[in-house]
Structure 1
């Protein structure tokens, strides 16, 4: 039995379920194959046999399945809810301690969903970094570029890193994110191409990637209500942009 499980409530989601199971190395539950018990009974019996769950269903259905099961944030399995259209990955249970927040980002990278993290610790980190880099850049090179771009700000203020889908497997970028325990948000090229450009377009990036730029649009897409406080800065083949969430007047009140 694997640490991660993917739960489906409808047969229509089976292709998505297979993709998640393969990408996360997870067990896949198809409750309609178990004629001897109801889906809810099956879920409740299996719940604590896995450390993390991805439930492909509506949040309301997940809440009813979980009713009465949670005991402690230090012991409960992590639960991420993903809608069948793979639009939002929502950490519902054990966001920090169980790793549901990190799992939501992993699900998002596999499906293109938006990770909807609601825990307070992440909300209090106002900065999103957009990063682009040439192939083979090391984690140290990326860290130097990030430090230069941040100036007097610190990595402790950074909520997430955003990059283009072509860089989803960039070893140096992944190592940098792991080193600082920062989630990596992957933005599809089509979404970047559809977003109005703010800074100076890059002919090299357009030729190599097919979009006008990477770091600025990635950061702004990941933080749609944020303000670009550091436009694209380049250092040794690494580009970084910094976007800051600004509290609305309603939040301040």
Structure 2
């Protein structure tokens, strides 16, 4: 379902809940929270008034990261009923009361727990404990790279296969339609090739594993391969009053299919400011994990005047104050955008898709479409 499309995972963990049980643990938790807040993050200390399990259930999903100052065994038992999978669980780090070790327990890559453990350890003068195989071998997992860029890695089984191949010593080759960051986060440049040079359906080099950096559907996708989907698509939406989130999500899925784009690359929904109170739109954006932008008639008219070839419909103008909503809203929502799907009517919803020509990685590095 559309709610499975996640936008978690971009950048470092910034918002923390620090949970402690004993007086010594509370003192250490207070020291960590103070240091974290001083460094520009947001941390709050919690301690259960009665049940630890009840407190953790309340905190689960409300913070990007959870730091427990207590024994690992206690944390494992209290978290067990709440766990879903590596893509949806938050970062969890456990620190002993003596402040000697910071253990990345859960969500090491996609959740950001490995990086969180290292930052917590640095603040406390502790030793970070990271056990994920790629980190132990000094290699960058493909889902960690996706997190650093703010992209979504799919399919999940393909991500596992790619990381497994990486551990076996195979080379990852990136086929991309984006200029990747020039330093720090980038793979070696001898392994970055244009998307059009991607391998065909036949057997490729057995020592190379393809990673496709694109919003496009790659078909057929090799078994040991994955896609890193940039949040580059904007969906401009028009709808009848009272339309449901389900209708909107179904229309978006069909629009992406017809455009040959992956739904995971939807980065923003956009519409006319007259739709400000449409509950279905807000619920659809929340389900997809993307922002919802509202544009006035004046802004949309500016797009209509500037971009050649857009239709100016008199009936729409009488109703909305501008003769084009879907296409202009999509183009207004992304920098240097181009229309990849003109207005498409699907039941009570109309959709247009635009793709950005410019993105920024989670650390602020510029990436342009090529």
Q: 1:121 matched to which residue of 2? A: 150
8 Å CA contact 2:336–2:358 kept in 1: the answer is: no
Secondary structure at the counterpart of residue 173 of structure 1: helix
Q: Quick check: which one's helix share is greater?
A: 1
Shift of 1:190: 1.4
Considering only aligned residues, what root-mean-square deviation do their CA atoms show, in Å?
A: 3.6
8 Å CA contact 1:70–1:76 kept in 2: the answer is: no
Q: Distance in 2 between matches of 1:252 and 1:149?
A: 21
Structure 1, gaps ≥5 residues long: 1-47, 49-67, 78-95, 99-118
Q: 2:160 matched to which residue of 1? A: none
Q: Distance in 2 between matches of 1:170 and 1:145?
A: 16
Q: 2:277 matched to which residue of 1? A: 169
The equivalences for 1:79-98 within 5 A come to 97=64
Structure 2, gaps ≥5 residues long: 1-15, 17-35, 45-62, 66-147, 152-228, 360-365
Q: Distance in 1 between matches of 2:38 and 2:230?
A: 26
Pair 1:70–1:220, CA change in 2 (3 A): farther
Shift of 1:136: 1.1
Is 1:131 equivalent to 2:237 in the alignment? yes
Higher mean displacement: 224-233 or 188-197 = 188-197
Shift of 1:206: 1.0
- In terms of Rg, which structure is larger? 2
Is 1:246 equivalent to 2:349 in the alignment? no
- TM-score after normalising by structure 2: 0.36
- TM-score after normalising by structure 1: 0.51
Secondary structure at the counterpart of residue 199 of structure 1: coil
8 Å CA contact 1:199–1:232 kept in 2: the answer is: no
The equivalences for 1:44-123 within 5 A come to 69-71=37-39, 73=41, 75-76=42-43, 97=64, 120-121=149-150
Is 1:225 equivalent to 2:333 in the alignment? no
How many equivalent residue pairs?
Answer: 152
Could you give the per-residue CA deviations for residues 67-102 of structure 1, whole angstroms, max 9, x where no partner exists?
x944475x449xxxxxxxxxxxxxxxxxx949xxxx
Q: Distance in 2 between matches of 1:156 and 1:250?
A: 18
Shift of 1:120: 3.8
Q: 1:142 matched to which residue of 2? A: 248
8 Å CA contact 2:237–2:352 kept in 1: the answer is: yes
Which 4+ stretches in 1 moved above 6 angstroms? none
Is 1:158 equivalent to 2:263 in the alignment? no
Q: Distance in 2 between matches of 1:130 and 1:121?
A: 22
Shift of 1:125: 1.3
